[in-house]
Structure formats: structure tokens, C-alpha cells
Structure 1
Amino acid sequence: MKPLIRSAALLVTVATTLSVTACGGAEDDNTGHTRVLLDWNPNPDHLALYTADHTGAYDEQGLDVEFLLPGNTADAAKDVSLGRADLAISYETDTIIARAEGLDVINVGALIPTPLNSLITKASSGITEPSDLEGKSVATSGLPSQQATLNYIAEQAGIDPESITMPNVQQNLNQALLSDQVDAIFGAYPNIEGVELAQRTDITTLTAAEMGVPSSAELVIIANPTRLSEDDAYADRVRNFLAGTADGHDAAMRDAALAVDALTPETAGAYDPDLLAAMVEATIDILEKGNSDGDTTFGVQNPQAWSDYADWMRENGLLDAATGSNALINGADATTNDYLPA
């Protein structure tokens, strides 16, 4: 769940969800037990996951899936690399950064295959284009990529990135904006934060594309490539998880009400029924457009697009800003479609 979007969500307790810090390694006597670390508290971006769980799609694949709440939004790659989670929901940008840092992760499927990341501000702020951010405060949720991306946006707009204050408010983006703690928020999604904020105040939304950032997959499912190559049981669980999630995705796309039913108990206290339904509809509208190639098949990513995006990150200093090293990295090596359903 995202504040008021991702914040009220902190009040949610999910019987099958545990904090990552409360669990040990990812190994378990139950060979079907699969720990999946979320990128955020449960929210409509996860409709494929929770619809799969709700309809029994994971049970049909022989899996006992445990969704873990993140202690920190930047933990995903580290926890998968170290084996503290079997899989995690992360971001294309941060997966490439993790690879550049030497972490043992690979994308095995896209959950949200197109960009969502946006800058949102109150209409009264007067911010209508990136150059208006000079001297302003812009809250982020603390992902390694966010400050680097904002620096790039500022430089392209001809303003000094150092003039922008960037407090890390974690899952409290909406509250920070609504309480006027900051002038804008970055890392907000139009189908989540945007829907809720629009019901409470007049907003201006600038998408990443409108600010000159190339297209990328917003949410991806990452696994540990060493375990995939050395542990057949793990590889089978990853395949089965993706097959079950694909079934959940397809079911949600056919029936938005089913997705709302699946998400309702997981997001109790975060969203009222009408708000949740509006967010689900907005999310389905985005998913219906498919990935950057227009492919609507669940999970599929274009390795060349990942390669091009990693090249853009390196050429524009995003890798250097996030990792301290502008190392050469082949983005195509950071993704695979091999474990998706045929």
C-alpha cells in the first residue's frame, strides 16, 4: 500500500505477511514455500500477485507463497542476492544499479512493464515543468535511482541539482505533500498516489517521459541467477511462481472486481472501497497498453531495451551517481524471459 497511499498502509496487518527482518534465510523444509519481498505495502500495483493468491493460482502450481513487507524500499536486490528472500519486486533502474554494484540478481518478469514514476505537486505550487524545481524541496522514497534521476532531470532543465532539497520520506510521500512539508514528491504513481491526491486537492503530474527520462519497466520480479543455475528446485519454484502470477494477471485483466476483492483484505485501513476500485481500474488501463513494444503478454521484456536503458544510465551519470562507479554493464544480461510461461 502506498502512503495515505503508502502510509496508511503501514497500519495493515496481513496474516500471511512477515517482516523480512523476522525471517531467516530463504531455504525452508517446505519445497513449495516461496518468500517474495514486496517493493511496498500491498497496493493495486500488486493486483496480479494478490489475484493469483485469491484465486488459488499459486496453490495450483504447488506453491506456498509468503509475501514479505519491506523494511526499506531499497532492500530488494540485497535480500535476494543474499538469499534472505527467494524473489522480490523491484524496479528496472534499481536492478541495473544492483548489477553494477555486483549484487547477484536478475529480472525474470515485469509486473508493471511501463514507467509509472512521476513528479506530483499541488497545482497551487506553480510547478509546471522541471525548471520550476530550482530551490524547491522534492520528497523521495529513498530508492538509489531517485536522486540520480532527479539530478539528471535538473541538469537537462538547466538548473543546479544542488538547489533542490530531496528529503527521504520512505512510504509517506502523500502525507509530505498534503501537509506542505515539501513542494513536490518524486516516485509517486499516477494510478496510486495520483488517484488519491486528485480526490483531495488539485494536482499537477509530470511523468518521467515528460521530464526527458527514457521508458523502462516500473516494477519487475527479480531472482538470484546463481541459485537459478545451481538449484533446480529453486528454478522450478520461480517458473511456477511466474506461471501463477501470470494467471492472476490474466484473471484481473478480465475482471476488475475480482482484483478488488483480492486486494480488499490486504489493504484494509489504507483505502476506502471506492478509492481502491478507482486505483485498480487505473492500473488495468496502464497494463492494457503492454510493455514498451506494445506486447501485452505478462512479464515479457525486451533485452535490447534493457541494454539501451543501461547505456543511457551510464552515459548520463546515473550509475556513477548511485554507485560511485560508471562501470560498463550490459543491461541485456540483467533480464531474461526464460522462466516465464511458454
Structure 2
Amino acid sequence: MPDPARPLRFPVHACLLALLLTLLLGEAAAEPLDAPPSSESPAAETGQGELGTSVMVPRLLPATAEQEEAPGAIIAAPEIGDATPEIGDATPDARELPQAPVEEIPTIAVTPPEPLEPPPLKPVEIMLDWYPGPQHAALLVAYHKGIYRRLGLEVTLSTPADPALPARLLAAGRIELAVSRQPLLHLLAGRGLPLVRVGTLVDLPLGGLLVRNGSDSESPFSLAGKRIGYSTEEARELLLPTLLRPHGVGVHELELVDINFGAVNEVVEQALDGIMTPQRLTLPRQLGDEGVGTRLLRLEEHGVPPHEGLILLANRDRIGGQRETLRRVLEALSEATAWLLEEPDAAWELLQEQEPALDTPANRDAWLPMLLRLSARPAALDLGNYQRFEEYLVAQGLAEHPTPAEKLALDLGAP
């Protein structure tokens, strides 16, 4: 038994052996770990690693024939970087995948569609009562600013060869609208013509009697035996008789001269003593430029009732099929008149440019006075005005019985 007092002693060769084993074990621990199997290794080809070292991931691709024969076989998914097989690729060991139906993609037009054709414009002929002048400003502005066309109208403005022609063409159905005067409407309606007022261009009278300065014909009662010119039918049949009757003078006591449109020349060349005119705002200046001074006798100051100076007439028998068209005409005139009253200088410049014949000293002088007489609401109707004028004609013996006001004037804006 060893002596506990003596230290243990190990043989020298045993110590050396232990040291050698320690060195050998240290070198083995310092060697690097083996890398995971690459794609070229047999394990990668089969999709199976060593037990406990690989995760088995199902591959969602058809199995090969051999794999289908092996029960329980798992097909490994491709590693990152593998090319995904294209649908329809033919391989000797893979089935073709069913192709998904190809949806049709809507085509995109590369050129704009053809523009829609605008509706055809409604043709409308409006015949003036005289040569174009400031009194026709609303009609002209609506035409030159394109207001008619914007409202679907193809308007034609025409000038008659005779002042009596427009109303007769209208009664015959040859035109859609005629520019006229209220006294003429009363005269023609009393004769049975199917005419009716549908709009008003000028609210106040434009007619009057011009007499030469210095003559003794400065009042209606002194006109007997004088040479008086006239240009309109109502002047001869209505206005002169109503002007003369209160003074005891008959039309047969005058020498009447039909001057048509040639007022200035006829007054100068035939030395007329006076002229009954529907152009009392422009004719005095025109005669003055020719050296003929005149004095104006206003009809309303000598017993003739106030009346509308310029109106639009339609054929009463054809109103039923024209209401919408006529409303659009009046809408265009209302818009044109509003612009005229707001921009009188611009309106005059427009007419100067588009209607050069209007640019005369007489028309320039009459421009602003005429604007004050324009009807701001062309469709508006004062039916009492027409009734009072009829009653006056009956009282003067110029009509046997009054024509009902409802047959003379129509309010297209009324329901």
C-alpha cells in the first residue's frame, strides 16, 4: 500500500504520452467544418440530405415517371438561382403543364374618333324694311357675332326692292320673318292678311313729318296744296290722315309723291315741301348735308298714339310649326341688344367693319339716340298698346271695327 506521506510519482513516459494526445486533439478541433453538399453532390440531385441536417421542401412540379413509381418520394424544390421551367417546354422526363386561357386585352384606339356631326342649322330668312341702318343694330350684331348660329339658326338678312314688299312676301309664306312697323301691321291685319307681331326691335315711334324750313308748311293745318312725299303705305293710308284730320285738312288736298327709298334725292330734285318718313333720326342730317334745312313734326305730339317703331312680323297661319325657331331668334336678339347697350362703342366698331355702308355722318349722329329706343326685351309684349291704337283708328274713321289685340300681337314667352 503506498505510503500516504510520499507524493505520487508518474512515470515520465506517461506524461509525454498525455502531452502528445493533447496536441493531436487540438489540431483536429482546429480543422474547418465540411461545407454543405453542393448541387453537384448526389444528395442535391435526389433532393435528400443526411438525416437531421436537411429540411425537405415539396416541389410543386410534376413528378417524373421514376418518381411516380417510388411511393412516398418527395420532389425537392429548386434552389435559389435555378431557372423556372417555362410552361410548354418539352422535356423527355417532364409532362407539359396545362396552359391557362389567354384573356383578350382590349385594344386601344391610336387615332381620335371622328367628331360628331352637329345638328343641321335651321334656315330663317328675315327681310328688312329698309336699307340696313342703326335701327337694325340688334339683327346685325346677332348675325356678325355668330349668335344665331350658336343657337342653331342659319339666318339670312335681305333687303327689299320696295318697302311694301316684306309684309306681302311674309303673308304668302315666302319668308319666315319680316321687319315692319306697328301702324303698317294694323293696316294690313285690318285687310285680312295673316300677320302677327312676335317681337319688338324699337320701342318708340320712328316716323314723323319733315317740312322745309322757311316754308309756310310748319304745321299740319297749313299743308293744304303742298307737295308731300311718302315712302310707306301706312304713311299714306293712316299717318297722314290722322295727322291732318284734327286740323280740318284731307289727304285729297295734298299733292302726294311716292318717293320709295329715294327720300333725299326726291326732296332736293322735286322741291318737295315735306316728307312723311319712318327715318326721323337720320333723314334730317342727310337733308342738311344737301343744304335742305327741315323741321320735324312728331306724330305722337299731334294726336297719334304712342306705338312701337320697329317690330318683327310672322305669318299667323304658320306659327304652330315655328314657335321654337322664333323663340331662338328672339333669344339671339335679346343677347345682342344687351351687348349693344353695354358696349355701344365696340358695337359701332363691329358694324363699321362688317357693314361699311353704315358708316355715314347721319348714322353716326343717330347711333346713341337709336340705342335709347332699342327694346331690351324683344319678346316682351304690351298688348294694351295694340288695343289702344286700334281704338284710335276706329275713332278716326280709319277702321270700321277694331281688330282684336290677340290677333295683332303674340307673346311667344307666354305659356
Are 2:242 and 1:152 equivalent residues in the alignment? yes
> 1:210 — aligned with what?
301
Are 2:152 and 1:62 equivalent residues in the alignment? yes
RMSD: 2.3
> 1:336 — aligned with what?
410
Distance 1:328 1:107 in 2: 16
CA contact (8 A) 2:351 2:358 kept: no
Distance 1:168 1:40 in 2: 15
Match of 1:285 among 358, 367, 372: 372
Match of 2:203 among 102, 113, 122: 113
Are 2:252 and 1:162 equivalent residues in the alignment? yes
CA displacement at 1:95 relative to structure 2: 1.1
- Gaps in structure 2 of 5+ consecutive residues: 1-118
TM-score, with structure 1 as normaliser? 0.79
> 1:240 — aligned with what?
328
Superposed CA deviations along residues 157-194 of structure 1, whole A, max 9, x for unmatched, are 12232111111111111222233431101024232213
Return closer, same or farther for 1:55/1:173 CA change in 2, 3 Å cut-off.
Answer: same
Larger radius of gyration: 2
CA displacement at 1:141 relative to structure 2: 0.5
- How many matched pairs? 296
> 1:186 — aligned with what?
276
> 2:164 — aligned with what?
74
Tell me: higher relative CO, structure 1 or 2? Use CA pairs within 8 A at least 6 residues apart.
Answer: 1
Distance 2:214 2:381 in 1: 39
Name the aligned partner's letter for residue 385 of structure 2: A
Name the aligned partner's letter for residue 214 of structure 1: P
CA contact (8 A) 2:241 2:251 kept: yes
- Gaps in structure 1 of 5+ consecutive residues: 1-28, 291-295, 320-325
Distance 2:398 2:349 in 1: 40
TM-score, with structure 2 as normaliser? 0.66
CA contact (8 A) 2:231 2:258 kept: yes
CA contact (8 A) 1:125 1:183 kept: yes
Distance 2:235 2:283 in 1: 19
Superposed CA deviations along residues 68-94 of structure 1, whole A, max 9, x for unmatched, are 111221122221122101001011111
Q: Percent identity?
A: 20
> 1:13 — aligned with what?
none
Are 2:308 and 1:308 equivalent residues in the alignment? no
Match of 1:47 among 121, 134, 137: 137
Return closer, same or farther for 1:236/1:83 CA change in 2, 3 Å cut-off.
Answer: same
CA contact (8 A) 1:136 1:164 kept: yes
